[in-house]
Structure formats: structure tokens, C-alpha cells
Structure 1
Amino acid sequence: MEPMPKRRKGSASGLRTSTAKRLRAGCSLPRVASGSPGEVVCHRCTLQNPTPAQCCAACGASLADWTCPVCTLINAPAVDCCAACDTPRKGVRAQLLPQLLLPTMDSNCVVLPPQLDLAPRVSLVFLHGFCNTAEMYSESEAFTLFRCQGLRVILPTAPLQRITAHGGQVQNAWYDYLTDHDGALEDDIDDRSLHATQQRLQAIVDAEAALMGDPGRVLLGGASQGCCAAFDAFARHPTRIGGFVGFVGHPLKSTPLHSSLQRDVPCSFFNAAADDTMQTHWVLPAIRRLHAAGWTKVSIQVADGADHGTSDELENEWMDSFLAGVFKHL
């Protein structure tokens, strides 16, 4: 079972380096005319904005200095945490999902709409890991490039439930763990709690399919426990949908594979070679079971030196790799 994760803080320099790599890999961003005086480059997505602009036209990042609410230090736009007291900068991009698009029980979902007032072309429902909430990914840079091309992102929060393997401790979780093998092998889980998540995700996917006008434009994915839960819902969904992306996770042993309608749909798993929480000696065979069950479009990538915590920059690269393939075939 995965331990309670720490929230990562991506550095501004790391984001700039990652964005440069992503652009060199062929991912483009809309740009205004360059070379004229009075432009400011966004520290997040590198779009050149006219100097009167207060926010980036592509990703919504602030282009102005900001004042720390705790110590009142004035910080530069590229800084995400106060240089004096490390207080994180307040985010402004997360929005509650409108009630007409999701059932009432999912009013706490977060939606990241496409940038530049674009109409949504593809919807990605992405699940956070164990002990987290939608806030974990509500300001993630992993989605920025493709939100500028029409990507809509739905971030549900897992319900609070008692974890049997933790003595009944209450955590945000997509399902209950019955055992804790400390990463050495797959844990046993409570099927009823998993079924509740599967039913919830089916309703979300169906609502997004209605919005998109095509279930083939709806994607499912997640990280860690969220990867496992999302793949279970993906494999069980009664309609063929657009694809799956998973970080540091695996198909659950209880997930039906042979009868799934998704066996010819693109599935990408990204794992970490030094993962102690979901160790590759059993995780990779679990993923390879898909090939034996007739799944024809499964991709597996393992990052050398990375552990279960990964990094913002690595998850950016993983998400770009998956979404580039999806958008290429729209």
C-alpha cells in the first residue's frame, strides 16, 4: 500500500526547463507576434504577452508581482512559493464543475477548461492517488500544453472512507485496502468500495461523452491508487472510449480483462524503476497480462532512477507523450 504522499512543489526553474524540453519534443503553443518591444514571456508556458497584460493569454498565469499574504514580501511572477516564508502562492485556475454536467454527488469535482476560450475537443478524467484530493492536480502543469489545444480536465476527489489495513483510519481513497504488503506484492482490496468508484466514474464518463458528443473523445487516467481505480473503471465501461493513461500504477487482479470493450483502445502505463511502493517486479507482469488477454494497444514505459513520488517534470513528459498521440489522431 502506498504511504501518505507529500504534495510536490515544482520550482519555477524546473518548469521553464520542462517547458523548453516539451517544445523541443514537438509540442507547440499559440504565440503572439514576437520581436516587438514591450512583451513579457510567461514563466509557465513561454507565451509572449503584451506588457499591459496581467495574466497569460494561454495558461492564465499571473504576469505581475504578487504579495505574500503571510509576510507581505513582494515576489516575482515566476515564484510559486514566498522566498521569505515559503507560503505557497494562491491558485486561481480551478473551477467547480457545473452541476448540469455531473451528478450532485460530484459537485466537488474540479474542472480545468480549455485555455484561450477554446471549445473542448477532448475530456480527460484523471484520479489522484491515495490520501490526496483533486487539489493535488488542480494546478498541475501536466495539462497546460494540451489545454491550449482544447483539452478539458475533470479531477474528482476520492471519498473519505475507513482503511481496514490501517486500523480503520479515515482517508481519501478510491477503495479500501484489506492488507498492506508494503509494496512487495499487490494488496487485497474491498470489492464493494471499488464497485462504488466504478459506478461513479461511469456516470462522470457518460456525462463527459454527452458533452463531447462522442465517447471516443473521453479519456480516463490516474496516478498510483487512482491509476488502478481508473483502469478498472476504464476496462469495465460498457462503451468503447478514447484511451487510458496511468502513472505508477497497474491493473488490479480483480479487473476483468478478456471481456472488456477497450482491448483495442490506446493504453499507456508509465512506471518508475525505483518504485518501492508498487515494485516493478510484480507491477510490470500485471500490466503485461493485458497482452495475454488480447489487448493490442498497450504501451509501457519505465523511468530509470525514478521512485513512486516521481516529479512534476517527469509527469509533464509522461502526459505530453500520451496526449500527443491522442491529439494526433483527432
Structure 2
Amino acid sequence: MSQIVKLVASKQPATHALIFLHGLGDSGHGWSFLGQHLQAMDPIAFQSTTFIFPTAPTIGITANGGHPMNAWFDLMEWDPEMRQFDNAGYLKTLNSVVKDYVKHAMDEGIPAENIILGGFSQGAAIALGSAISLPWKLGGFISLSGFISCHKELFVKLDKDLHNKDTPIFHGHGDADPVVAVSRGMGSLDWIIGTYGFQKAEFHTYKGLQHSADEQELRDVYQFVKKCWNL
């Protein structure tokens, strides 16, 4: 497993876990504020929650002239519609890395239904794909400024049983995002709903927000997590 920033539950043993994957060029530390933010908003509700922020491996990024960056898969070009997709790298992360993180949390005694998997940008793309591919039913999925490759053949090699068809999915996206177009995010969520029949996927648009998160989106994430876990 790669380097991980972990905010350990203040009340042990931990009963819940939120695993969150960063975007291109970032690290687990870059999103660890999310755990701190949720804990500050409601210390009692999240006292038994462990927050896990992994760091992606360093690979050469095609869109960046081959310069190495932390990434869950390669970025082929700087295109807000993400028309080119690194299928091999994406599948590698889905098939091994993410499963390892979830399985590790389960091995530490946290039930699958008490685990939420989320991510930002590239990390969100992995979270959305995991909703299709994971062999366990989780408590929820969070996609912030995310996207997915809308080609069903990409997923035929993954787990054939859809375990998370009725698992809640939250997708938040700024309508001024210059990196991943809001239309790409909306189209991605529409595609997984239409193709796989997800029943509890919701899309939230944030006016004026670029490729980042703002206070309103974080409040909505907070409400989503509490609802998933009935906190």
C-alpha cells in the first residue's frame, strides 16, 4: 500500500471509515482537511470514524510531457471532456489498489456498510468505477468534480455482480470547472444510472465553483455522510 494519512477515531474501536482519494498531482495530505472538517462540524457523530487518505503512486503523465506526478492513472491530454482515457491504468487501480484499501478497513473490523469511498477528480473517477466493480456493498460513494469512461466494455472484466445498485452516490461539481467540465460530470453520472440502474445517485451543481470544493459542497458532503450512516 502507498503512503497513507490516517485520522484515527478518537473513540476506539472504530466502527466507521471514510476512504478518500485525491486528484492528479496531489497527495493524501492534501485532502486530510476533509476529515478534520467533518470532525469539527460534529465531534460526537464522527468520534468512532477513521478517515483514510491514501497517496497515489508516482507515474509519468502523458499530458504533462511525461513528467512524473502522483496519479491513480495516466492523463492523456488536458481536455475538460476527458475524451481520452487510460483504460489499463484505471483498471489496475480499480482491481488492486482500491480493493486493498477497502479490504484492509474490513480486516480491522469495520463492516463494509460502514465504509464510504470518495474522491476528487481522478480520485472521484476511481470512486465511481468502484461503485460498479467492488465485490462488497459499501455505505456510500462520494464523487467531487469527477468523471468516468462511459464505455461498458471497460467494466466487463470487473466483478459481474452489481453489489452497490442501491448504495447512495453523491456527485458534486462546480459549474465553472475548467479542468473537468460539469457536463462531463453530469454525463458520467447519467451514464452509470442508465447503464447499471443505480437507484440513489444524486448530482449537485455549485454556481461559480471551479476545480475545487467550497463550503456549501462540504456541508452537503457532511449531510450525505451522516445520512448514509444514520448518524
TM-score by length of 2: 0.86
The DSSP-based 3-state class of the residue aligned with 2:108 is helix
Give the AA of the match of 2:120.
Answer: A
What is the match of residue 209 of structure 2? 306
Match of 2:15 among 109, 115, 121: 121
Larger radius of gyration: 1
The equivalences for 1:178-193 within 5 A come to 178-181=76-79, 183=80, 185-193=81-89
Query: Mind listing any 5+ residue stretches in structure 1 that lack a counterpart?
Result: 1-104
Q: For the residues of structure 2 that align with 1:270 and 1:188, how far apart are their CA atoms?
A: 22
In the alignment, is the contact (CA less than 8 A) between 2:139 and 2:229 conserved in 1?
Answer: no
Match of 2:221 in 1: 319
Deviations 1:290-328 (A, max 9, x none): 2212110111111122111233x2343132121121221
Letter in 2 for 1:133: S
| SS class of match (1:222) | strand
Alpha-carbon offset, residue 200 of structure 1: 0.9
SS of the residue aligned with 1:316?
A: helix
Counterpart for residue 252 of structure 1: 149
The alpha-carbon distance between structure 1 residues 279 and 139, as it changes in their structure 2 partners (threshold 3 A), is closer
The 1:249–1:307 alpha-carbon spacing in structure 2 relative to 1, beyond 3 Å, is: same
Among candidates 158, 167, 185, match of residue 56 of structure 2: 158
Which residue matches 1:237? 134
CA distance in 1, matches of 2:21, 2:88: 19
Q: Which has the higher contact order (CA 8 A, sep 6+)?
A: 2
Aligned equivalents of 1:260, 1:252: Cα separation in 2: 18
Which secondary structure does the structure 1 equivalent of 2:208 belong to?
coil
Contact conserved, 1:127 with 1:155, CA < 8 A, in 2? yes
Q: Give the whole-Å Cα distance in 1 for the aligned partners of 2:135 and 2:12.
A: 30
Deviations 1:153-172 (CA, angstroms, capped at 9, x unpaired) = 11100110001122211111
> Which amino acid is 1:219 matched to?
I
Q: Percent identity?
A: 23
The structure whose residues are more often helix, as a share, is 2
Residues 125 and 221 of structure 1 are in contact (CA less than 8 Å); yes or no, is this contact kept in structure 2? yes
Change (3 A) 1:190 1:147: farther
Q: Which amino acid aligns with 2:93?
A: T
CA contact (8 A) 2:17 2:51 kept: yes
Which of 80, 85, 92 lines up with 1:196 in the alignment?
92
* TM-superposed deviation, 1:259: 5.2
- TM-score, normalising length: structure 1: 0.62
Do the aligned partners of 2:85 and 2:149 also contact (CA within 8 Å) in 1?
Answer: no
CA-to-partner distance for each residue in 1:212-270, whole Å, 9 max, x for gaps? 34211111100111111222233211122221011111233246398532111111111
Give me the whole-angstrom Cα distance separating, in 2, the residues matched to 1:260 and 1:179.
31
Aligned match of 1:14: none
CA RMSD, aligned part only? Answer: 2.1
For 1:234 and 1:209, locate their aligned partners in 2 and report how far apart those are by CA, in whole Å. Answer: 17
